[in-house]
Amino acid sequence: MGVSHIVVVGGVAGGMSAATRARRMNEHTRITVIERGGYISFANCGLPYHIAGRIVREDKLLVTTVEQVRARFAIDVRVQTEVMRIDRAGKTVEVRDLKSGQVEMMGYDKLILATGASAIVPGMEHVRAENVFTLRSMEDTRAIQKYLGEKKPKSAVIVGAGFIGLEMAEALHDRGLAVTVVEKVDHVLPPLDREVAVDVEHELRLHHVEVITGTGLAGLVADEAGRVTHVVLEDQRKLAAELVLLSIGVRANVGLAKEAGLTIGASGAIAVDGYQRTSDADIYAVGDVAEVTHGVTGRNARVPLAGPANKQGRLAGEHAASGEARGADKPVGTAVVQVFSETAGLTGLGEDAARKAGFDVDTAYVSGGHHAGYYPGAERLRIKIIYDRATGKLVGGQIVGKQGVDKRIDVLATVLHFGGTIDDLAALDLAYAPQFGSAKDLLHMAGFVAQNQRSGVTAAVRYRDVNGASVIDVRTTEEFARGSVPGARNIPLDDLRGRLGELERTREYAVMCQVGLRGHVAARILSQNGIMVKNIKGGYALAKEEMDVPMEKA
Ligand code: FAD
């Protein structure tokens, strides 16, 4: 195909994947990458760990350099150079060298927009103060490092408890600062459902990170020198802060595209077709700036993550260079984050998001060791799966624990990718040895629980939905004595068959254990003896959280 010049705007995840794939597919075309910042292919995802001091050398964050890309791929890479405007009719871009100020008009046959996203900065006084930061680029990282090194702040307020906010909470804690995290919704890690995020919140508190949820940023107070001293919250609280990090989300950098008249989708990112082509067939968009077709909802959405950005770049580069490529992936939104020693992973839709998207979903909860209990070192994992009631198709999954979260969330993501059901999940043939998992892995158990619920073997409800049923707590008397829900009656599981006479056939019961497993056994005993019963999902551990009992680990 006669493509003589491919111009890529943005030289990080999506842009460099596009440029290098284009070269591998077409040795003869001219390829130029224009990057506004000073670096290409830097590891955004590693930035918090550099600030934490775990990735010591800054150059380790540079996956490749301008010189390496020029030498190996014969790609003309221009850093500190910005594309200012696209002239679609003339097929040129206006390029400004930010060092010299020189402007040039550069022709293209194919243009790939990989301009990414920018951290959202609210419009309020003092957001540009020297001690108020966002984290997106190497330059942002340097600014934070410099401030930490020179001013040695002792306290930080992080606004926004998403992935970056929490990674930075840990990083700044590691640097010796007293950290407070503020989150507008009622729990940390908003993409997770609240009852799953609880363990992460607990972990933050365990490390003396203060967590304030359910209120947002209202304003910043600065001293005479213009340095922010306090963060004011919507609930009027005023927090002292020597460093403020704003991590309240990202906005797609669609300015160029908008000005050029390209179609912007309802999600706020650039609308693309199955080959990442925008409404102009010679212009592609990839990464955080582009919309995707969501793999679960089938709707257009933004999934601003590194994996999709890299793969979309690869696809667009190939298509631009050769005129052919396999169609675009449909990401389901899979992410994992570590907060101190707790890891949280999610894929697909959470329960609330699924309902908002119009799914009629049910949920299943399991909790247990990440490998066989008899092998030393098993750590507790909590898994929630969300599935479509009518079809049994998996809609999403969320996992939290200290070990084994990453591989299991990837298994759930794989099931989602193939449109699998809870039966598929239960049937997966997964690797097992005692130090890695269980012969019936917790993922299988999640599938079994969902199957039991869906087929009616055991009806199950959240504690908040017991609706007047009498609660029987089937844990041991010792466990019961340590705490129970109001009005519950204790009949330990192993005594249950002998005490059936105490229960009425005309009444409905809800059985509760610690996490739901013994409750299922109890429910089977009772229902097969003609007693109306439901198992309480997630047991006392989950109910306690619903009752707003101060957080404590199950
Ligand atoms: P970017 O990486 O943002 O690159 C866009 C580039 O375009 C920028 O360098 C910008 O300077 C340049 N640009 C913009 N406009 C112009 C212009 N007009 N002219 C020239 N250049 C321009 N994702 C994960 O999946 N896992 C993680 O663990 C993870 N951690 C992260 C941690 C941090 C701190 C951050 C900031 C992000 C993290 N992400 C993570 C998200 C991930 O990094 C992004 O999804 C990914 O980098 C998007 O790639 P991109 O190429 O679309 O955009």
The Cα–Cα gap between 34 and 17 comes to 14
Would the CB of 306 count as within 6 Å of ligand 1?
A: yes
- H or E element, residue 199: helix 194-206
Which residues are CB-neighbours of 456 under 8 A, at least 6 positions away? none
Residue recorded with tokens 């989708």: 265
Would the CB of 9 count as within 6 Å of ligand 1?
A: yes
What residue owns the CA closest to ligand 1's atom 36? 136
Q: Tell me the backbone φ, ψ of residue 294, rounded to 5 degrees.
A: -70, 135
Buried b (16+ CB within 10 A) or exposed e, 504-537: eeeeebbbbbbbbbbbbbbbbbbbeeebbbbbbb
Write down the pLDDT at residue 553. Answer: 38
Active site (annotated) includes residue 513: no
Atom of ligand 1 nearest to the CA of 34: 20
Would the CB of 447 count as within 6 Å of ligand 1?
A: no
What residue owns the CA closest to ligand 1's atom 32? 45
Write down the pLDDT at residue 549. Answer: 47
Q: What does the DSSP assignment read for 478-532?
A: HHHHH---TT-EE--GGGTGGGGGGS-TTSEEEEE-SSSHHHHHHHHHHHTTT-E
Atom of ligand 1 nearest to the CA of 81: 20
Q: Write the single-letter amino acid at 46.
A: G
Would the CB of 312 count as within 6 Å of ligand 1?
A: no
What residue owns the CA closest to ligand 1's atom 15? 115
Whole-number Å distance, alpha carbon 49 to ligand 1 midpoint, is 16
Whole-number Å distance, alpha carbon 269 to ligand 1 midpoint, is 14
Would the CB of 253 count as within 6 Å of ligand 1?
A: yes
Rg of the chain over CA atoms, in angstroms?
Answer: 27
Would the CB of 115 count as within 6 Å of ligand 1?
A: yes
Would the CB of 135 count as within 6 Å of ligand 1?
A: yes
119-125 — which CB contacts under 8 Å span 24+ positions?
Answer: 119/246, 119/247, 119/248, 119/249, 119/250, 120/246, 120/248, 120/249, 120/250, 120/251, 121/246, 122/217, 122/246, 122/248, 124/217, 124/219, 124/220, 125/219, 125/220, 125/222
Q: Where are the alpha helices (DSSP H) in 37-162?
A: 47-52, 66-73, 138-151
Q: Write the single-letter amino acid at 286.
A: V
Whole-number Å distance, alpha carbon 326 to ligand 1 midpoint, is 24
pLDDT in tens, 454-487: 999 999 999 999 999 999 999 999 999 999 999 9
Would the CB of 304 count as within 6 Å of ligand 1?
A: yes
Of 176, 157, 178, 207, the closest CA to residue 51 belongs to 176
Whole-number Å distance, alpha carbon 164 to ligand 1 midpoint, is 13
Q: Write the single-letter amino acid at 453.
A: Q
Would the CB of 538 count as within 6 Å of ligand 1?
A: no
Atom of ligand 1 nearest to the CA of 289: 52
Of 527, 530, 509, 511, the closest CA to residue 519 belongs to 511
What residue owns the CA closest to ligand 1's atom 18? 83
Whole-number Å distance, alpha carbon 44 to ligand 1 midpoint, is 6
Pairing of β 81-87 and β 92-97: antiparallel
What is residue 268's three-state secondary structure?
A: coil
410: exposed, middle or buried (Cβ count in 10 Å: 0-12, 13-18, 19+): middle
Atom of ligand 1 nearest to the CA of 119: 36
The Cα–Cα gap between 39 and 17 comes to 15
Atom of ligand 1 nearest to the CA of 305: 45
Of 172, 554, 129, the closest CA to residue 365 belongs to 554
The Cα–Cα gap between 284 and 295 comes to 20
Would the CB of 287 count as within 6 Å of ligand 1?
A: yes
**Which positions of the chain have pLDDT values less than 50?**
549-554
What residue owns the CA closest to ligand 1's atom 3? 116
Catalytic-labelled residue, pool 30, 43, 45, 426: 45
Would the CB of 48 count as within 6 Å of ligand 1?
A: yes
Asked if residue 98 lies in contact with residue 80, where contact means CB atoms within 8 angstroms, the answer is yes
User: What does pTM read for this prediction?
Assistant: 0.95
What residue owns the CA closest to ligand 1's atom 41? 305
Write down the pLDDT at residue 1. Answer: 56
